[in-house]
Amino acid sequence: METEEIRYLYHDEKPFSLQLIHPDIKGPLPLVIDLHGGCWSKGSKAECLSRDLVLAEAGIASAALDFRQGASGYPNSLIDINYAIRWLKANADELNILPEKIGIIGQSSGGHLAMLSAMRPHDQRYASLRLEHNPYIDATVNCVGMLWPVINPLSRYKRICFLRTQINTPAWVGDLPERHNLYWASELEMAEGNPLLAIESGERVYTPPTIWIQGKPDPVHDYHDPESPYELNEPERFALNYREAGGSIKILNINQKERTTRKSLDPLVKFLQNNLADKKYE
């Protein structure tokens, strides 16, 4: 396989790059864009390498992205991701990929960004960076893979802030409230940049085929919002609304200790193959 570091964007002369992994197959090949986690404030595309190597074994190219995060704030991450999707499509011939076969995946906050980017490919804010020479290419994708995403930043923020007030605050809360506050300017932003609440509000969004891989138990990502109108945890709540909005979604629950092993990655690969390849995989 071939691995290449490619600069795709600059902000104030600071380069942002992607790591393209292309299997040793003639191609052109389908491509999966991979977004790292880190509560929107830390983390890097290096965290995507292990799963992107699994994708390469399956004959799928991948592009793990650098994007603005932390104090850069919302929606700058979405702006960079939207641009990267369009840039990759525009340069598909040179990169030996199929522009009509693009998926997006992400872990934790990266799962949130993947879903929101897929739901709002034409949002004027997210698409605000002009792609020179190819202004008519859009940021639509064929499918979405989410690994334990923060699907509702607002409910998660309220939950961790409440737990911070308790005598026995769970250790996992850590600095999550501070990282939320670094990225999000307000609770209003957390409500607006929110895949779950966007659907529940009746917003017209794109709903490509999706898989949600969720470890159990996982109080960081799998919990019940006390303000929810449903007696469901957030994964099932989102899935219910996503289906009602016309999308297809599968939730795969696995043991938390095995969530980064092939027990989660193999079903993810099969899902991506079935939505990006020309044949179905059993």
Please indicate, yes or no, if residue 281 is contained in any of the structural domains.
Answer: no
- Using alpha carbons, select from 101, 148, 112 the residue that is nearest to residue 274: 101
Output the CA–CA distances (angstroms, integers) from residue 144 to 5, 39, 112, 115, 247, in the order listed.
Answer: 23, 19, 11, 7, 11
Please say whether the beta carbons of 41 and 72 come within 8 A: no
Q: What is the mean pLDDT of residues 13-38?
A: 95
Q: Could you tell me the CATH number of the domain that includes residue 80?
A: 3.40.50.1820
* pLDDT at site 279: 52
- Summarize pLDDT for 156-179 with one digit per residue, the tens: 999 999 999 999 999 999 999 999
Residue 200 is part of which domain span?
2-276
Give φ, ψ of 134 to 5 degrees. Answer: -140, 60
Please indicate, yes or no, if residue 282 is contained in any of the structural domains.
Answer: no
Please indicate, yes or no, if residue 41 is contained in any of the structural domains.
Answer: yes
d(C-alpha 171, C-alpha 220), whole Å: 11
- Using alpha carbons, select from 245, 258, 244, 173 the residue that is nearest to residue 215: 258
Please say whether the beta carbons of 238 and 222 come within 8 A: no
Give φ, ψ of 252 to 5 degrees. Answer: -115, 110
Output the CA–CA distances (angstroms, integers) from residue 142 to 33, 134, 215, 217, 265, in the order listed.
Answer: 11, 20, 25, 30, 19
* pLDDT at site 99: 97
d(C-alpha 195, C-alpha 66), whole Å: 22
Please indicate, yes or no, if residue 170 is contained in any of the structural domains.
Answer: yes
Question: CA torsion, points 124, 182, 103, 90, in degrees to nearest 10?
Answer: 50
Output the CA–CA distances (angstroms, integers) from residue 145 to 35, 78, 113, 149, in the order listed.
Answer: 10, 17, 11, 10
* pLDDT at site 188: 98
Q: Which of the four pLDDT bands, split at 50, 70 and 90, describes residue 135?
A: confident
Q: Is the pLDDT of residue 281 over 70?
A: no
Please indicate, yes or no, if residue 243 is contained in any of the structural domains.
Answer: yes
Q: Which of the four pLDDT bands, split at 50, 70 and 90, describes residue 180?
A: very high
Please indicate, yes or no, if residue 60 is contained in any of the structural domains.
Answer: yes
Please indicate, yes or no, if residue 75 is contained in any of the structural domains.
Answer: yes
- Summarize pLDDT for 210-254 with one digit per residue, the tens: 999 999 999 999 999 999 999 999 999 999 999 999 999 999 999
Tally of domains in the chain: 1
Please indicate, yes or no, if residue 10 is contained in any of the structural domains.
Answer: yes
2: β partners = 22
